[in-house]
């Protein structure tokens, strides 16, 4: 039985309880199978598109075609809580640093990869909490390439609008020439602004920072609609920008910064670090079960109220499950 208190957590504890609650339910297993197949299909489609972008960047000479990343350590997360996975990663890094000749370096980069549903996001959150506790001087930064892709898209749309003929439909692909992309990237810089690391955008009518527009302009319709098109052509450029920005942070003399980098292996390969981890699930069916549980528990929460009995909560869970089927 699932209580309202447990349902309210809406975290890995709740999803594990939902999976256990429905372990003999054919309906839940059908939903989990469907969700798992959809996740794997999306991952495969994304991987193909990403690789096409990487290959394009290599052909353009933007990234080194012979680049080899440091090896990854696989962690099977089956039966492990996110905190256990995070502690395992920290322990591995601590052991490596003790035996390293370069023990004076303050900053570090921790790369985390894995298929959707293996718990990357939750593990990054746990790492942030664990690494940030007990050391007020250490800064923990979660880096995402997403805002850099959005910034390039913003500039590509601006260029397309400024060069658009009267009555002509907006076509952002015209902005994606090799020369234009180099120009757009030169309009982005990563620097400390008022004591905080930030990406600055200067050009084509913009003079701003990513942090000040990341929840407004960068999520507006012009950017959201065109980002898939721009992203495919700018994988290499964004990879290099991210790599240099992260290197700036971890090599800063006046502070200790730990960068947590989560993403697809094809892109995070290009950030130099010995601390690379891939989360795996030896029981792949759990990927679909976790996603199904997340959907069911979120829907049931909307139908539940504080004070509801366990019987009522479980009626809501079953009802929402059947709706989803």
Q: What is the pLDDT of residue 102?
A: 61
Measure the CA–CA gap between 252 and 120, rounded to whole angstroms.
Answer: 27
Furthest CA-CA distance within the chain: 65
Element (H, E) at 193: strand 188-193
Looking at residue 135, its pLDDT comes to 62
Query: pLDDT value at position 176?
Result: 94
Say yes or no to pLDDT of 273 above 90: yes
Position 47 scores a pLDDT of 84
Which neighbouring-strand residues pair with 142?
260
Determine the Cα–Cα distance for residues 112 and 90; give it in Å rounded to an integer: 12
Residue with tokens 């795996």: 280
Considering the chain, what is the average pLDDT of its residues? 90
Predicted TM-score (pTM) of this structure: 0.79
How is 58-113 classified by DSSP, letter by letter?
A: HHHTSS-TT--PPPPEEEE-TT--HHHHHHHHHHHHHHHHHT-S-TT---EEEEEE
């Amino acid at each position: 039985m699932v209580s309202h208190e447990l349902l309210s957590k809406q975290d890995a504890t709740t999803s594990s309880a939902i999976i256990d609650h429905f372990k003999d339910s054919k309906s839940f297993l059908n939903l989990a199978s469907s969700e798992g197949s959809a996740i794997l299909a999306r991952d495969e489609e994304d991987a193909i598109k990403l690789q096409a972008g990487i290959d394009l960047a290599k052909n353009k000479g933007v990234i080194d075609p012979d680049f080899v990343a440091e090896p990854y350590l696989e962690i099977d997360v089956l039966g492990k809580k996110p905190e256990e996975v995070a502690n395992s990663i920290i322990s591995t890094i601590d052991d490596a640093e003790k035996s390293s000749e370069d023990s004076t370096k303050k900053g570090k980069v921790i790369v985390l990869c894995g298929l959707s549903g293996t718990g990357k996001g939750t593990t990054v959150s746990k790492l942030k909490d664990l690494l940030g506790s007990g050391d007020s001087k250490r800064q923990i930064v979660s880096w995402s390439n997403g805002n850099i892709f959005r910034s390039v898209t913003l500039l590509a749309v601006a260029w397309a609008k400024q060069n658009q003929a009267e009555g002509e439909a907006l076509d952002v692909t015209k902005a994606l020439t090799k020369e234009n992309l180099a120009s757009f990237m030169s309009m982005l810089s990563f620097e400390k602004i008022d004591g905080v690391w930030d990406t600055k955008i200067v050009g084509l009518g913009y003079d701003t920072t990513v942090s000040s527009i990341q929840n407004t302009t960068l999520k507006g319709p012009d950017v959201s609609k065109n980002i898939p098109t721009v992203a495919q052509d700018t994988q290499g450029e964004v990879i290099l920008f991210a790599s240099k920005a992260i290197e700036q942070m971890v090599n800063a003399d006046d502070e200790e910064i730990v960068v947590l980098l989560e993403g697809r292996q094809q892109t995070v390969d290009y950030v130099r670090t010995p601390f690379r981890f891939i989360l795996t699930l030896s029981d792949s069916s759990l990927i679909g079960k976790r996603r199904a549980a997340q959907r069911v528990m979120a829907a049931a929460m909307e139908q539940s109220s504080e004070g509801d009995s366990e019987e009522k909560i479980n009626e809501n869970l079953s009802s929402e499950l059947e709706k989803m089927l």
